[in-house]
Amino acid sequence: MSNHHSWDGKPEYLWEYEAFSWAFNFCRERGIKVPQRTVEYERSLIAEKVREAVNRGSRRSDRTVVSFTMEGDGGADPDIAFVKANLSDKGTVLKS
């Protein structure tokens, strides 16, 4: 639905966030409740993709995605904990 293509230059975490955001808003607009466990699952999946991008050398991640990820429980999820420890709230990598 987001018309993603491999040549669009977007990182995988951004594709995942856009897909989740679209689906979440689609459901909300139609009065369909999205379970919190679904939101947390997606948050964890997106954090994993952000971590992979950083490990591949990305120095910056989308600010909105990082903010969404940081709302999760970093103590329970190692990928969320990684994002919280290694990225600023603006999406820049803090450590090399």
Is 67 a member of any domain? Answer: yes
89 has a pLDDT exceeding 60: yes
Is 25 a member of any domain? Answer: yes
Distance (Å, rounded) from C-alpha 67 to C-alpha 61? 10
Is 80 a member of any domain? Answer: yes
pLDDT score, position 79 = 94
- Helical H runs in 5-92? 12-29, 36-55, 63-70, 78-86
| Residue 30 parent element (H or E) | none
Is 2 a member of any domain? Answer: no
Q: Is the pTM of this model over 0.95?
A: no
Is 16 a member of any domain? Answer: yes
Stronger pLDDT, 65 or 8, i.e. the higher one: 65
Range of the domain at 35: 11-86
Amino acid at 91: G
